[in-house]
Amino acid sequence: MMTADRLSTTFAALADPTRRAILARLTLGEASVTELTAPFAMSMPAISKHLKVLERAGLIARSREAQWRPRRLHADPLKEVADWVEPYRSFWEQSFDRLDEYLHDLQTQSKPHHPAKGKGHGRSKN
Amino acid sequence: MMTADRLSTTFAALADPTRRAILARLTLGEASVTELTAPFAMSMPAISKHLKVLERAGLIARSREAQWRPRRLHADPLKEVADWVEPYRSFWEQSFDRLDEYLHDLQTQSKPHHPAKGKGHGRSKN
DNA sequence: GTTGTATTTAACTAATAGGTTATTTAACCT
DNA sequence: AGGTTAAATAACCTATTAGTTAAATACAAC
């Protein structure tokens, strides 16, 4: 994920349970790095790196308070995640996968052929 | 993301624009590896690897048809993504971040202090 | 059975990720 | 100034990722 689009950066940031746990913690209110480190069996520099990833993804923001650098949640990029996933809803809600498998089995039994472009075998978005 | 939970594996699979494009293509119906490779300036083995990532994440399934191995969408893991992101909706919808920043500024001007655990400064989930 | 088409696997490379410990910076408090 | 606490940075290590080209496999069609 070298230099990637915003959505890729967001997904990459979310692909780590520690980072998701940090976000969950921050829904309760801002927290210092020490506080964020406490729940994990991991050094503070490790958490600091995770925070940097979350920050670069725009998921948290840093403020200053004496020698503390409390982080707070910045959920905006998660809207893009929700917007991206939404169009797929119909595919998991209608048990699309099992239906598709069923249609596929019917089809390959009766009519072997190579997968032509845009074949679509009985199911499309509209 | 060595050996990770299901959600991390899903997010990691989604953290690549090529793989998301492949999923989008598969919403139109199943497709062969050659067909899936066509839109990209990338070798077929590279796409094959992306497909393996998607497969290990449970986002696509493979079938057989002569010498073709058409892939089809398996959207179920995306439900978990939707379920994970949903609780954060209130945080982006209510412009939480700007409100929080405002409250934060008010607070630090009038009452400098170190960030105590569970302080919460005026906003919580219920 | 040889040739052609579709796909996978192998071997390699360069970059990134995620962790460590040790050091440095920053701010507070006597 | 000197000591303490909070956090960031540096230097390092190992594993994984994302791509490449070349070789192997699977099936079809003659």
pLDDT digits (tens, 9 = 90+) for A15-42: 999 999 999 999 999 999 999 999 999 9
With CA atoms as reference, report the closest residue to B26 among B68, B67, B75: B75
> Which two tokens mark B119?
């302080």
- Whether chain A has a CB inside 8 Å of the CB on B124: the answer is yes
- Whether chain B has a CB inside 8 Å of the CB on A126: the answer is no
Given a contact cutoff of 8 angstroms between Cβ atoms, the answer to whether B9 and B57 are in contact is yes
Closest CB from A15, A29, A121 relative to B8: A15
pLDDT of residue A104: 58
Instruction: Give residues with Cβ within 8 angstroms of B74, minimum separation 6.
Output: A97, B58, B59, B60, B61
Neighbours of B50 (CB within 10 A): 21
Amino acid found at B24:
A
pLDDT digits (tens, 9 = 90+) for B28-44: 999 999 999 999 999 99
Residues of A in contact with B70 (CB under 8 A): 115
Disruptive mutation site among B18, B92, B99 for chain A (greatest number of A CBs within 10 Å): B92
> Within chain B, which residues score under 50 in pLDDT?
110-126
CB burial class (10 A; 0-12, 13-18, 19+) of residue B80? middle
Measured CA to C1', what is the nucleotide nearest A19? C18
- Whether chain B has a CB inside 8 Å of the CB on A70: the answer is yes
pLDDT digits (tens, 9 = 90+) for A64-91: 888 899 999 999 999 999 999 999 999 9
Length A61 CA → C25 C1' (Å):
21
Measured distance CA(B26)–CA(B8) in Å, rounded: 22
